[in-house]
Chains A and B, each alone.
Chain A
Amino acid sequence: MTDRDCEWLRAVADELALGILPGQERAEAIAHLDGCHTCREHVEQLTLVADGLLSLVPGSEPPAGFETRVTDKLGLNRPARRRRPRAGVAVAAAAATALGFGFGGWAVGTAIEGASAPSSRSSGPPGSEHGLLAASLLAPDQRPVGRIFAYTGSPGWVYMSVHLGRDGSGSDSQAGDRSGSGFRAEESEAAGSHGVYPEAGEVSCRLERTDGTSVHIGEFSLDDAGRGYWGAPTRVDPDTVSGARLLAADGSVLATAHFDARQNQ
């Protein structure tokens, strides 16, 4: 990291924030931002300006019937939405909880763990959506202890379900399988957990790159059974991302994942 690198970044920062920087320069700029907090803050400020510009575009009434067409597309107008009998109750309860108390999206899902997804959600196999990478999280002893999904589109995101407990195989659910799977294990019902996972608590996730480097993308908590669900928006470069590592607070590796089969429709 040199002053010259930062100088170059400042010269292209506006175009980067506006999303108009050509590919190669954009890749170099992003790489620089990964390691330069000062430049990252600068670009974040400019991104707010870019977002602000969009807020000046006037709203416009869509054509008649738009709402219906959207909800049709989402499968919400089908009279028979198949759910397991109790799932509907669970979803409604979760919604009531979330809406009644004004929680953000993170707090919803854990209350409905075990609920099947609305039939409108993607029912394909994990990774069947364009730009979605999926992999099993494996403990050091190669036990499956969860799944991780990384979306390479814009905006990109990472989502994972983890179950380190030794009461069976790790959660292998699809990201969309649990409508609103939660992100804060301490709020979960922890239904069905057996025993206590000794290394539970705060864990962190790093995305691994093909060049051997990695980037920290966030922390979350596991419950006493070593169970948790977490996700965050983050840029996922399909050309460089290779996998992920889940680390305990002391830095030890709890699980690893390798994205080896990018799915494209």
Chain B
Amino acid sequence: MRRLGPPLGRLSDEALLAGMATGAPEIALAFVRRFQRMVFGIAVAVVDDPQLAEDIAQQTFERAWRHAQVYDSRRGSVKTWLGTITHNLAIDAVRARKATPVSPEDLDALLGIVTRTPEQCALADEAASRIRAAVAGLPREQARAVVMAGIYGMTARQISEFEGIPLGTAKTRIRTAMGKLRTVLGPERADHD
């Protein structure tokens, strides 16, 4: 297949997405290769079912393919856009299938992963390292609440039931945690590579 422009692996995420909009198979394949680990990672973390996660990951790329034309870089990076699509699909799938979105064991395992200190993991970017450190610095109950809400899509009511705490307490934990994370991230865009 004829190459177009510079080697595809070196193109920016935005350029690859632009290529997706043209329907060129080579570019679509490069796009899938670049983001499949991230997309599948989010899907499998949320749904905890490899087969379902693969379906969600496929749907994500299908949507990216269909909607590449309306992506707006001013609203966030391609990664963020794709991650949000995946997350929304995964949350919808979980809400349709399970009463309890996450088991205590899975929550603890993911919490351990997302709060690993920067020295312990390869960092994608500075914003990710700052938010990781910020989550790691939260009191355990707040970190649990924000991970349950932000990654597993659990409502405050679900969190209160899961943790055996009053609804108001669950809301307070979410709010306090988000406030601290927002302070750490500051006014900068956190989603541009």
Contact = CB atoms under 8 A, between A and B. Distances in A.
Given A15-B149, A53-B150, A73-B62, A117 B37 contact: no
Contacts of A14: 174-175, 178-179
B29 interface: yes
Contacts of A15: 149, 155-156, 171, 174
Contacts of A146: none
Q: What class of interface size applies to chain B in its complex with A?
A: 35 or more
B83 A18 contact: no
Interface stretch (A32-40, A106-114, A240-248): A106-114
Contacts of A180: 18, 21-23, 68-69
B165 interface: no
Interface stretch (A118-126, A193-201, A252-260): A118-126
Could you tell me the dominant secondary structure of chain B's interface residues?
helix
Contacts of B128: 52, 55-56
Contact of A67 (B36, B73, B80, B191): B36
Contacts of B28: 71, 74, 76
A92 B26 CA distance: 11
Contacts of B25: 71, 76-77
A151 B23 CA distance: 20
B11 to A, nearest CB: 6
Interface stretch (A93-101, A165-173, A206-214): A93-101
Given A52-B128, A55-B127, A63-B54, A99 B15 contact: yes
A179 interface: yes
A232 B69 contact: no
Contact of B178 (A17, A69, A92, A158): A17
B70 A231 contact: yes
Contacts of A59: 37-38, 40-41
Contacts of B65: 74
Interface string B46-78: 000010011001100110011111111101100
A55 B14 contact: no
Q: Which of A57, A71, A120 has the most CB of B within 10 A?
A: A57
A143 to B, nearest CB: 26
B70 A159 contact: yes
B99 interface: no
A222 to B, nearest CB: 18
A63 B84 CA distance: 21
A71 B32 contact: yes
A121 B68 CA distance: 12
Nearest to B83: A54
Contact of B153 (A20, A60, A95, A102): A20
A45 B41 CA distance: 25
By Cβ-Cβ distance, the 5 closest A-B pairs, closest first, are A180-B21, A59-B37, A118-B23, A99-B5, A100-B5
Interface of A: 11, 14-15, 17-22, 45-46, 48-63, 66-67, 69-71, 73-74, 76-77, 91-92, 94-96, 98-100, 102-105, 107-109, 112, 117-118, 120-122, 129, 151, 154-155, 157-159, 175-176, 179-181, 183, 231-233
27 contacts: A15-B171, A18-B146, A18-B150, A18-B178, A19-B153, A52-B181, A52-B191, A54-B42, A54-B84, A55-B83, A56-B113, A56-B131, A58-B41, A63-B50, A70-B32, A74-B28, A74-B61, A74-B65, A76-B29, A98-B22, A99-B4, A104-B73, A105-B69, A159-B69, A232-B72, A233-B72, A233-B75
